[in-house]
A and B are shown apart, each in its own frame.
Chain A
Amino acid sequence: MKRRTFVRNGMWVSSGLLVPALARAQGAPASPAAARSAPAVRAQTGGAAGVIQVKGTSPYEITRRAVAELGGMNQFVSRGDVVMVKPNIGWNRTTEQAACTHPEVLRAVIELAFAAGAKKVVVMDNTCHKAEDCYQRSGIEAMARRAGAEVRFSDENRLVLHDFKGEFLGKWPVYRDHLEVDKFINVPILKHHGSSGLTIAMKNLFGILGGNRGKLHRDMGENIADLANGFRSHLVVVDAWRVLVRNGPVGGRLSDVEERRTVIASPQIMHADVAAAALFGRDARQVEFLQAAHERGMGEIDIAKIALKSLSA
């Protein structure tokens, strides 16, 4: 009889223990203690920050080469840093379908970050399809783990309001993981996108946002520019190994994918995007969000005015 009483009482006690938990869940969310202040972020505009474009035979090798040409990962990551490496894992698609960042490009970036002394590398995204499916099918979760990174899912309980202080985009919920790291490396894939024309590094920052992101499609170009202007990417590495040239951003058909065997790297997000747009065959001036970014003084929109170094490895 004692055992039974114990179990029965135990059930009451444990349900009582849940009360504080429930009470806490009702309470106010943690204040947006943003580790990174927005004004400092705005300082990233500026002249002709270099862009490296490398074409080659291995996505891993050309990524390493591109970062080396920028002066090495030590330029961007300091010893002891916690580094966020933010790929595009938006869709439940394979590497061949080119809707998500190539895992080999990601592996190179993670390894370089560790080699530069990073204490921890985190990989995550706020996906469009079911997160577990995207992480698995894209091959990114397995590769990132193997390279030693910590793979996280975006957790609603970790959303905080962040003020982007933009013309269109003000306060918006952000997964605080992205605010709590020391360095943010933006590793998008270059592809076609129906409503924004292209998706590259600036658009990739949608993945740090929570909330009803669909609402941001109303003035998509302006919002993307505000987003990229209000949140700093310390380094941008654009995967253009395979490029989805039609029916993006989700794609699916291999006939819509072209091999470009290229990686573009730059510490200047606007210039990386302008160069990637050129590689795609688009004049940046025709791309709404790049036009909007240019108007905000985020960088040159004329590819001719950007110090672009192209090489083959």
Chain B
Amino acid sequence: MDRRTGRLLQRARILSQIIFTVLFFLLLVRSGGGDAARLPWAGLFFYFDPLFLWVSLLAGPFLRIFLLALAPLLLTLLLGRFFCGWICPLGAMNQFFTWLGARRGQRRMPVARKPLRLKYLLLAALLVASLFTVQLLGWIDPFSLLTRSAATVILPGANALLQQALLAGPEPLYELGRRVLLTVTQRSFLQAAGIGVIFLGLLLLNLHRRRFFCNYLCPLGALYGLLGRWSLLRLAINDKCRSCNACAAHCTYYGSPFKDYLKSECVLCFNCVSDCPEAAIDLRFGLPVSGRRPALDLGRRRLLGASAVGLAAAALPLIAPARSARTHSFLRPPGAVGEKEFLEKCIRCGACLQACPTNALQPAVFQAGLEGVWTPVLVPTSGYCEYECHRCTQVCPTHALARLTLEEKKQFKIGTAVIDRSACYTYADGYNCAVCEEHCPVPEKAIRFREVEVHDFRGRLRRVRQIYVVPDLCIGCGICESVCPRSDIPAIRVGAEEEQREIPYG
């Protein structure tokens, strides 16, 4: 292929990367407070992820929609790691930052096999751990990583910056921006700083090494690499080659089709073809000849070692107190399956965080134990579970939040409210309030008041409408806690008491 064809392929690749990245963000933005009926589309990219096919196989019942992930797997056997180069939105962003960081006359690096191997070992460790019910693939899977980072950092951050910029400008412009671009309320997330620093760090590492995450860390890339070494399509050097090694100049993994060709690492970016002055690189299609499958040597011992690390990593959460604790302080979203099963099914992607209209769903820090980091918890001080909404249950790709109809969700008991009598105005101070009663969405009211005579803080006898909770009616939505007017601690709080998901039923 000549340079022109190379440029053409390069441009086609960039176009494809842009299209899929835009599609990814469109789906994500739309799942935020969008029409619940259209939400299943939000999981589109997840269904094409073979790692999550694996998650669904292990955590059963198997969701047939994940069979879609066989498509990229099979295509990889044909084409190699096209997915990384042409489709993956996180790959595209890494590529963009790689391009930003490129400098003229940069010294060519030799291909470094050791760090390239890291991702395979990581994959092995994560897969082994997942066999022992410790499911951490979502921490680092590119779709989980990007969805989580976008939902908690990129989108809210962009919104905040845009709002401040618009506020500095003329008012009509601000009004227009507010109508068409900004969210009505600014969203905020626990750990946004942590998630953001990790994400920004990963992007900046591209300035240090080309597509850092993709080459050295991505477990999905590793999976595709394992298959890619068997692919029918490959790059080959023809006899026009004058051994100038110009093809190495922009190779994504610092190799080249001339020297250091690693089929398992090649993402078909076609930078080499457009760099070759002699049209010496061809695409060949055919069965891989045995002994001529250029790929990384992983090493049996290293793989065994990685598996052992996976085993050890699995043991730690298994012996952590969180697994056997009888009480816990966090709430799970509606539809959440029992905690043990939940941790296996949840891929920490944050799709539910994005879908939650009230910002109630938050990525856990350490409330749910170390393995529960970034799983969703419902935090009533930041939002409440909207009675007329079931969006989170519609977007969860792995059904860690079961698909509930709106009617089912209204019945689903997340927890139970409890009044703190030492803080509630109607008990502690002896005056009226009842904001929680007013907001309780249960039609027959799970929060009520009775008129009693109490001494107020001045010692005077007053008639006060004292609040009480009807635990059997309470669904634990948390709106009471979220609207309690106290400025220090909410005087009514929702805990996991009587949460429905831990009660065997059906």
Binds B, one of A14-22, A39-47, A111-119, A166-174: A14-22
Q: How far is the CA of A17 from the CA of B358 in the complex (A)?
A: 31
Q: How far, in angstroms, from A168 to B353 measured CA to CA in the complex? A: 40
The residues of B that contact A4 with a CB separation of less than 8 Å are: 99-100, 102
Asked if A253 and B443 make an inter-chain contact with CB atoms under 8 angstroms apart, the answer reads: yes
244-282 of chain A: CB within 8 A of chain B = 247, 249-253, 256
Q: Does B301 contact A (CB under 8 A)?
A: no
Given A212-B485, A214-B484, A220-B432, A157-B184 contact (CB < 8 Å): no
Query: Considering only CB atoms, which chain A residue lies closest to B102 in the complex?
Result: A4
CB 8 Å contact bits of B331-364 with A (1 = contact, 0 = none): 0000000000000000000000000011000000
Distance (whole angstroms) from the CB of A154 to the closest CB of chain B: 9
**Which chain A residue lies CB-closest to B486?**
A214
Instruction: Tell which of B161, B388, B485 touches A92, judged by Cβ atoms closer than 8 Å.
Output: B388
A13 to chain B, nearest CB (A): 13
The reply to whether A132 and B184 contact each other, CB–CB distance below 8 Å, is: yes
A214 close to B485 (CB less than 8 A): yes
A132-B357, A218-B425 known; A195-B438 Cβ under 8 A: yes
Give the contacting residue for B439; candidates A128, A131, A133, A157; CB below 8 A.
Answer: A128
Structural contact, A25 and B164, CB atoms closer than 8 A: yes
Contact with A along B90-104 (1 / 0, CB 8 A): 000000000110101
Q: With contacts A133-B386, A133-B389 known, is A218 near B432, CB below 8 A?
A: yes
Per-residue CB proximity of A7-36 to B under 8 Å, as 1/0? 110000000011011101100000000000
Provide the residues of chain B in CB contact with A24, threshold 8 Å.
164, 167-168
State whether B167 touches A252 (Cβ < 8 A).
Answer: no
Is B445 on the interface with A (CB-CB < 8 A)?
Answer: yes
Question: Closest approach, in angstroms, between the C-beta of A30 and any C-beta of chain B?
Answer: 11
The answer to whether B435 has its CB under 8 Å from any CB of chain A is yes
Interface residues on A, range: 35 or more
Q: Which residues from chain B contact A253 at a C-beta distance below 8 Å?
A: 443-444
Decide: A21 and B165 in contact? CB cutoff 8 A. Answer: yes
Given A214-B484, A217-B485, CB of A155 within 8 Å of CB of B178: yes
In the complex formed, the residue of B with least CB distance to A129 is B386
Q: Which residue of B lies closest to A20 (CB)?
A: B168
Q: Give the chain A neighbours of B438 by CB distance below 8 A.
A: 128, 193-195, 217, 249-250
Q: Is A194 a contact partner of B165 (Cβ separation < 8 A)?
A: no
Question: Which residue from chain A places its CB closest to the CB of B484 in the assembled complex?
Answer: A214
CA distance in complex: A251, B434 (Å): 15
User: Which residues of chain A are near B386, meaning CB under 8 Å?
Assistant: 92, 129-130, 133
CB of B417 to closest CB in A, whole Å: 15
**Contact residues in A for B434 (Cβ distance below 8 Å):** 194-195, 217
Alpha-carbon separation in the docked complex, A256 to B442 (Å):
13
Interface set, chain A 71-124, CB cutoff 8 A to B: 92-93
Give A171 to B131 CA distance when docked, in angstroms.
62
With A21-B165, A21-B168, A250-B440 in contact, is A214–B100 under 8 Å at CB? no
Which residues of A have CB within 8 Å of B165? 17-18, 21
Question: Which chain B positions have C-beta within 8 A of A129?
Answer: 386
Interface size class of chain B, counting residues whose CB lies under 8 Å from the partner chain: 35 or more
Q: Which residue of A lies closest to B449 (CB)?
A: A194
Whether B389 contacts A214 by the Cβ 8 Å rule is no
Q: Report whether A131 and B485 are in contact in the complex, using a CB–CB cutoff of 8 Å.
A: no
B483 contacts the other chain (CB 8 A): yes
- Assembled-state Cα–Cα distance A251/B89 (Å): 45
- A22 near B443: Cβ-Cβ < 8 Å: no
Q: Is B33 positioned at the interface, with any CB of A under 8 Å from its CB?
A: yes
Q: A304 at interface (Cβ–Cβ under 8 A)?
A: no
Look across to chain A and name the residue whose beta carbon is closest to the beta carbon of B440: A250
Contacts of A131 on B, CB cut-off 8 Å? 184-185
- Taking a contact as CB atoms under 8 Å apart, the answer to whether B433 and A214 are in contact is yes
Mask of B155-175 contacts with A, CB within 8 angstroms, 1/0: 000000101111110000000
Residues of A within 8 A of B33 (CB): 130, 132-133
Closest approach, in angstroms, between the C-beta of B89 and any C-beta of chain A? 19
B432 A217 Cβ-Cβ under 8 A: yes
Residue A133 contacts which of B100, B161, B178, B357 (CB distance < 8 angstroms)?
A: B357
Q: Which residue of B lies closest to A248 (CB)?
A: B438
A294 within 8 A of B: no
Closest chain B residue to A5, Cβ basis: B100
> Considering the chains assembled together, what is the distance between the CA atoms of A73 and B357 in angstroms?
39
Residue-wise, chain B 421-434 has the 8 Å CB interface mask toward A (1 for contact) of: 00001000001111
B142 within 8 A of A: no
Inter-subunit contact B443/A251 (CB<8 Å): yes
Task: Give the chain A neighbours of B432 by CB distance below 8 A.
Answer: 195, 217-220
For A219, what are the chain B residues with a Cβ–Cβ distance below 8 Å? 431-432
Could you tell me if B437 and A195 are in contact, using CB atoms closer than 8 angstroms? yes
A-B contact pairs, 16 of them (CB 8 A): A7-B100, A8-B100, A18-B161, A24-B164, A131-B184, A132-B184, A133-B357, A133-B388, A133-B389, A195-B434, A195-B437, A195-B449, A212-B487, A213-B485, A253-B443, A256-B443
The 5 closest A-B pairs by CB, nearest first: A214-B485, A253-B443, A21-B168, A195-B434, A214-B435
